[in-house]
């Protein structure tokens, strides 16, 4: 035989030393690179875009031009590396379960991305003649039809750009309706204590006074307290349903009746519509206005914090006050009512320039068509099933905040199970990072101590749910055990960075890179 002994060893050698305490010489962690800011990469005169020369100078703008513009540029390969390296420091729904309660982190189909990039949608100017945008207007019209049919509501305002913007739109419709009816003296909005912070913020923004409604021991609106606080000074109530505890408001129809009897409107925060889409129509519950986060229920990507889209469905009483623009049918096809006149004469105003988040409309509509009426119903069922499965699998090692009865699309735990362990909700969240999962929503809703709100969504397989539950069970047992709590107190150990000093960031805000930053260091 011929023997070639040249080459490398093909199994690991040396002692089985762990990575603990190991430091690379460069600050990199294998695939995770240490990446400076673009301002530190040296490209002050560089550009990664080849542009033609300009023969004409700007002599007509004498005295109006800037002297220089000190911003770095990178060549294309450098820029690609910079941003790809940064991307690898992010968790993502495409990587693993992302169970942020009330955020609905579900799979984002790439078909939707492809559709939104079709030239007929992406390369379309908002002020082209409507005769050249009939397909776009038809898509808006059909999206509106789906939203109205799914919610059982007769009107919809498409233009709000996010959930909170939709809330604002809904409350402005309510305000306009009251004013039109000579009821402008109604200045109070009732909001449950468990509400998302945007609700009171929006009400205050509109100039309303916020009064809190108490919550019952089983996590719902206290009907007696609501009744006591309703009156002819109340403009609206804002209730999230399913609520932020992940529970359906059993008395929702009575809540609506009491509200209407008092002459107020019922604003429903639709952040959690994913739990009931296709199974319950908010219009049947007596809702007057509800925003729909297209980035939640209808799966437009969250993009690291937006863009969102927050169309608002409206009852017949509120629909005439919806802001411009509206899609209307005219003699020559579809058109836009862009000013407060004609069909939109009672519109309360305008929420933004142009017509809303068209790119999100295309994605959401593609998602709706893909699922269909049957699939959307299945979405709600699987979302609720997955949350209840997590609640059942973790209920014996953690403490469900509301153990009796099913939850909807999210399972809420408090921190009683951590009593005496020295481990906090925050520690559990950070330890989950080391196990490869994004933490759940923590310390929200505020009404539950040390809250952990887990929303798996319908796009998780049973295998991924089991992997997640196994990991949390193991963490729960470790937290309750007698071992060193370093696993928790100093977590995360394996993330690109350890826990960050938020106090320092807030006391000495450094919000932009500056050349002197380098000089000082």
Partner 1 sequence: MRFTKDHEWVELDGDVATVGITAYAAEQLGDVVFVETPDVGKAVKAGDAFAVVESVKAASDVYAPVSGEVVEANGELAGAPETVNAAPEAGGWFAKVKLADKAEYDALMDRDAYEAFLATL
Partner 2 sequence: MRYLPLTADDRAEMLGVIGAPDIDALFADVPSAARLPGPVDLPRHAGELEVERELAGLAALNRAAGAGPFFCGAGAYRHHVPATVDHIIQRSEFLTSYTPYQPEIAQGTLQVLFEFQTQVAGLTGMDVANASMYDGSTACSEAVLMAKRVNRRGKAVLSGGLHPHYAATTQTIAHAEGMEIVRLPAAIDAEAAVIDAIDDQTACVVVQTPNVFGVVTDVTKIAEAAHARGALLIVVTTEAVSFGLLKSPGEMGADIAVAEGQSIGNALNYGGPYVGLFATREKLVRQMPGRLCGETVDADGQRGYVLTLSTREQHIRREKATSNICTNSGLCALAFTIHMTLLGGTGLQQLARINHARARELARAVAGAGLEVLTPRFFNEIAVRTKGPAAPLVERLAAQGILAGVPFSRLDPHAGLDDVLLLAATETTTSDDIAALAAALKAL
- Window 211 to 230, contacts with partner 2 (CB under 8 A): none
Rounded to a whole number of angstroms, the minimum distance from the CB of residue 330 to partner 1 is 50
> Which one of 194, 272, 315, 357 is in contact with partner 2 (CB under 8 A)?
357
Tell me the sheet residues that pair with 314: 155, 289
Spatial neighbors of 345 by CB under 8 A, at least 6 apart, are none
Least distance (Å) between residue 302 CB and partner 1: 23
Q: Tell me which of partner 2, partner 1, none is bound by residue 471, counting a contact when its beta carbon lies within the kind-specific cut-off of 5 to 8 angstroms.
A: none
230 CB contacts (<8 Å, ≥6 apart)? Answer: 190, 237, 258, 259, 261, 262, 264
Q: Which does 288 bind (CB under 5 to 8 A by kind): partner 2, partner 1, none?
A: none
Contact segment (CB under 8 A) with partner 2 among 53-61, 221-229, 262-270, 480-488 equals 53-61
* Residue labelled with tokens 């196994």: 470
Residues 2-31 that bind partner 2 (CB under 8 A): none
Nearer to partner 1, 57 or 502 (CB): 502
State the Cα–Cα distance between residues 214 and 239, nearest whole angstrom.
Answer: 12
Angle ∠(172,173,174) on CA atoms, nearest 5: 90
Question: Distance between CA 118 and CA 288 in Å, rounded?
Answer: 35
As a whole number of angstroms, the longest Cα–Cα distance in the chain is: 102
**Is the Cβ–Cβ distance between 190 and 256 less than 8 Å?**
no
Q: What contacts 458, CB < 8 A, 6 or more positions away?
A: 106, 274, 378, 379, 380, 381, 382, 383, 386
154 lies in the site for partner 2, by CB under 8 A: no
* CA pseudo-torsion sign 192, 196, 199, 202: positive
Cβ atoms within 10 A of the Cβ of 507, count?
8
Q: If contact means CB under 5 to 8 A according to the sort of partner, which of partner 1, partner 2, none does residue 37 touch? A: partner 2
Structure tokens, 416: 């009683």
36 versus 481: smaller Cβ distance to partner 2: 36
Q: In the range 491-520, which residues lie near partner 2 by CB under 8 A?
A: 492, 495-502, 504-506, 509-513
Task: Characterize the bridge pairing of strands 188-192 and 234-240.
Answer: parallel
By the criterion CB under 8 A, which residues form the site for partner 1?
Answer: 502-503, 506-507
**Among 10, 24, 26, 55, which residue interacts with partner 2 (rule: CB under 8 A)?**
55
Looking at 306, 330, 422, 481, which residue binds partner 2 (CB under 8 A)? 306
Residues from 244 through 283 that contact partner 2 (CB under 8 A): 247-250, 252-253, 276, 278-281
DSSP, res 453: E
Residue 193 or 346 having the CB closest to partner 1:
193
375 is an interface residue for partner 2 by CB under 8 A: yes
Query: Min. distance of Cβ 502 from partner 1 in angstroms?
Result: 5
What is the token pair recorded at 109? 């189909």
Site residues for partner 2, 410-469, by CB under 8 A, read 429-430, 433, 438-439, 444, 458-462, 464
Segment near partner 2 (CB under 8 A); pick from 205-213, 259-267, 314-322, 475-483: 205-213
379 binds partner 2 per the rule CB under 8 A = yes
Looking at beta carbons, which pairs linking 141-149 to residues 24 or more positions away fall under 8 Å? 141/327, 141/334, 142/365, 143/311, 143/361, 143/364, 143/365, 143/368, 144/311, 144/327, 146/365, 146/368, 147/292, 147/311, 147/313, 148/313
Cβ 443 to partner 1, closest distance in Å?
A: 8
**Partner interacting with residue 187 (select from partner 1, partner 2, none; CB below 5-8 Å by kind):** none
> According to the binding rule CB under 8 A, does residue 202 interact with partner 2?
yes
Which one among 9, 12, 68, 182 touches partner 2, defined by CB under 8 A? 68
In the complex, what is the shortest distance from the CB of residue 190 to partner 1, in angstroms, rounded to a whole number? 22
Question: What are the angstrom distances between the C-alpha of 416 and each of 165, 397, 451?
Answer: 36, 11, 10
Does the protein bind partner 2 through residue 92 (CB under 8 A)?
Answer: yes
Residues 105-144 that bind partner 2 (CB under 8 A): 105, 107-109, 111, 113-129, 131-136, 138-139
253 binds, among partner 1, partner 2, none (CB under 5 to 8 A by kind): partner 2
Q: How far is the CB of 440 from partner 1 (least distance, A)?
A: 18
Antiparallel, parallel or unpaired: β 399-400 and 333-337: unpaired
Closer residue to partner 2 in complex, CB, 205/263: 205
What DSSP assignment string belongs to 303-357?
TTT------EEE-TTTGGGPPBPEEEEETTEEEEE-SSSGGGTT---BSSSTTS-
Rounded to the nearest whole angstrom, what is the least distance from the CB of residue 200 to partner 1 in the complex? Answer: 14
- Name which of partner 2, partner 1, none residue 179 binds, using a CB cut-off of 5 to 8 Å depending on partner kind: none
Whether 324 and 352 have beta carbons less than 8 Å apart is answered as no
Q: Say whether residue 63 binds partner 2 (CB under 8 A).
A: yes
Supply the minimum distance, in Å, between the C-beta of residue 4 and partner 2: 42
Least separation in angstroms between residue 428's CB and partner 1 is 17
In the structure encoding, which two tokens stand for residue 490, read together? 């100093």
């Amino acid at each position: 035989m011929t023997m070639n002994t040249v080459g490398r060893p093909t199994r690991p050698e040396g002692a089985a030393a762990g990575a603990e305490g190991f430091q690379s010489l460069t600050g990199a962690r294998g695939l995770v690179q240490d990446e400076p800011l673009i301002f530190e990469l040296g490209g002050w005169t560089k550009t990664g875009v080849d542009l033609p020369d300009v023969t004409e100078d700007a002599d007509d703008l004498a005295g109006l031009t800037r002297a220089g513009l000190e911003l770095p540029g990178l060549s294309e390969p450098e820029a690609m590396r910079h941003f790809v390296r940064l991307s690898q420091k992010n968790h993502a729904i495409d990587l693993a379960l992302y169970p942020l309660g009330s955020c609905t982190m579900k799979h984002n189909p790439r078909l939707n991305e492809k559709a939104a990039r079709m030239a007929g949608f992406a390369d379309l100017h908002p002020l082209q003649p409507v005769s050249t945008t009939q397909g776009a207007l038809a898509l808006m019209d059909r999206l509106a039809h789906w939203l109205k049919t799914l919610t059982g509501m007769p009107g919809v305002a498409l233009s709000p750009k996010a959930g909170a913007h939709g809330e604002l739109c809904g409350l402005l419709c309510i305000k306009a309706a009251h004013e039109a009816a000579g009821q402008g003296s109604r200045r109070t909005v009732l909001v449950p204590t468990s509400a998302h912070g945007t609700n009171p913020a929006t009400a205050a923004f509109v100039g309303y006074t916020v009064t809190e409604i108490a919550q019952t021991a089983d996590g719902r609106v206290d009907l007696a307290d609501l009744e006591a606080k309703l009156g002819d000074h109340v403009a609206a109530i804002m209730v999230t349903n399913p609520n932020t505890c992940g529970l359906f408001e059993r008395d929702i129809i009575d809540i609506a009746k009491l509200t209407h009897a008092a002459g107020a409107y019922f604003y429903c925060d639709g952040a959690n519509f994913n739990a009931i889409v296709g199974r319950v129509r908010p219009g049947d519950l007596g809702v007057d206005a509800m925003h729909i986060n297209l980035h939640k229920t209808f799966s437009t990507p969250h993009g690291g914090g937006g863009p969102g889209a927050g169309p608002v469905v409206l009852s017949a009483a509120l629909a005439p006050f919806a802001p411009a623009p509206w899609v209307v049918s005219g003699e020559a096809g579809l058109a836009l009512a862009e000013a407060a006149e004609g069909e939109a004469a009672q519109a309360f105003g305008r929420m933004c320039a142009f017509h809303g988040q068209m790119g999100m409309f295309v994605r959401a509509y593609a998602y709706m068509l893909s699922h269909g009426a049957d699939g959307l119903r299945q979405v709600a069922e699987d979302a609720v099933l997955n949350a209840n499965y997590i609640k059942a699998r973790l209920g014996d090692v953690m403490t469900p905040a509301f153990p009796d009865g099913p939850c909807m699309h999210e399972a809420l735990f408090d921190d009683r199970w951590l009593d005496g362990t020295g481990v906090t909700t925050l520690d559990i969240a950070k330890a989950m990072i080391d196990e490869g999962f994004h933490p759940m929503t923590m310390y929200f809703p505020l009404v539950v101590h040390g809250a952990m709100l887990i929303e798996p969504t319908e796009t998780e397989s049973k295998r991924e749910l089991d992997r997640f539950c196994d990991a949390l069970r193991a963490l729960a047992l470790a937290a309750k055990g007698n071992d060193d709590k370093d696993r928790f107190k100093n977590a995360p150990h394996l993330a690109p960075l350890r826990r960050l000093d938020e106090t320092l960031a807030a006391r000495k805000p450094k919000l932009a890179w500056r050349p002197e930053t380098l000089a000082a260091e």
